[in-house]
Amino acid sequence: MAHTAHDTDTHHGHDHAAHPTEKQYWMVFVLLVALTAVEVAWSFLGAEGPALVIPLLVMMTVKFFLVAGAFMHLYFDLKILNGRLFTWAFFGAILLAGAVYAAVIASFRFNI
């Protein structure tokens, strides 16, 4: 199958998915600040054990994905890569790294 010049247009940086507007960036920032405020307030409420740790970890994860997805444009760039091998490799590597990290920490925690 012959490649034409027109076909290759979609393979270049030219077809970036639209990045957020200035207003959307401000909204993400407000959300991040609000989550940080809730995190700090939660840590002062006196909850202990899982009741303290799990909500904090959830809020941390949401903040992580907000910064990576919106500010680092990962959400928009992955749209371009959707369905390609790279996307699978990207998420596969994240999953593998997370699993290895959890296994190492668990080996210390449970003295395996």
Partner 1 sequence: MTDIGIPVEESAAFIAHEQELVHETGHASSLGLSNTKLAFWLFLGSECLLFGALISTYLLSVGNFVGQVVAGNPRVLATMPAEVMNEIVEKGSVNSFFDIPFTSASSFILLMSSLTMVLAHKAVSEGNYRGTKIWLSATALLGSTFISGQVYEFTVFYREGLHYDGNLFGSAFYTLTGFHGAHVTVGILMLVALLIMAFKGKLQADRAETVEIIGLYWHFVDVVWVLIFTVVYLIP
Applying CB under 8 A, the site for partner 1 has a residue count of: 50
Least Å distance, CB 23 to partner 1, is 11
CA distances from 6 to 11, 56, 81, 82 (A): 10, 49, 18, 20
Residue 56 lies near partner 1 (rule: CB under 8 A): yes
CA distances from 72 to 6, 13, 42, 99 (A): 29, 16, 28, 24
Token pair listed for 38: 């809730």
What region does 34 belong to: left with phi over 0, alpha with psi -120 to 50, or beta? alpha
Using only C-alpha atoms, the chain has a radius of gyration, in whole angstroms, of 20
Choose between 84 and 95: whose C-beta lies nearer to partner 1. Answer: 84
Find the binder of partner 1 among 12, 18, 23, 46 (CB under 8 A): 12
String marking each residue 81-110 x if it binds partner 1 according to CB under 8 A: x--x-x------x---x---x--xx--x--
Choose between 19 and 95: whose C-beta lies nearer to partner 1. Answer: 19
Torsion angle, alpha carbons of 103, 56, 69, 19, to 10 = 180
**Which residues contact partner 1 (rule: CB under 8 A)?**
2-5, 8, 10-15, 19, 22, 25-26, 28-29, 32-33, 36-37, 39-40, 43-44, 52-53, 56-57, 59-60, 63-64, 67-68, 70-73, 77, 80-81, 84, 86, 93, 97, 101, 104-105, 108
